[in-house]
Amino acid sequence: MNNHDRILRITVSALFLALAFILPFFTGQIPQIGSMLLPMHIPVILCGFICGWPYGLLVGFLAPLSRSLLLGMPPFFPTALCMAFELMAYGAFSGYFYKIMPKNKLNIYLTLLIAMVLGRIVWGLAMFLCMSITNNTFTLAAFYAGAIGSAIPGIILQIVIIPLLVMIIRKMKVSGLNV
- CB proximity list for 59: less than 8 A, separation 6 or greater: 13, 16, 17, 20, 43, 44, 47, 87, 91
pLDDT of residue 179: 79
CATH class of 3-92+103-172: mainly alpha
- Per-residue pLDDT, averaged over 119-140, amounts to 95
Q: pLDDT tens-digit profile of 57-104? A: 999 999 999 999 999 989 999 999 999 999 999 999 999 999 999 999
Cis peptide bond N-terminal to 74, omega within 30: yes
Picking from 4, 37, 12, the residue whose alpha carbon sits closest to that of residue 23 is 37
- Average pLDDT over all residues of the chain: 94
CA distance 10 to 164: 23
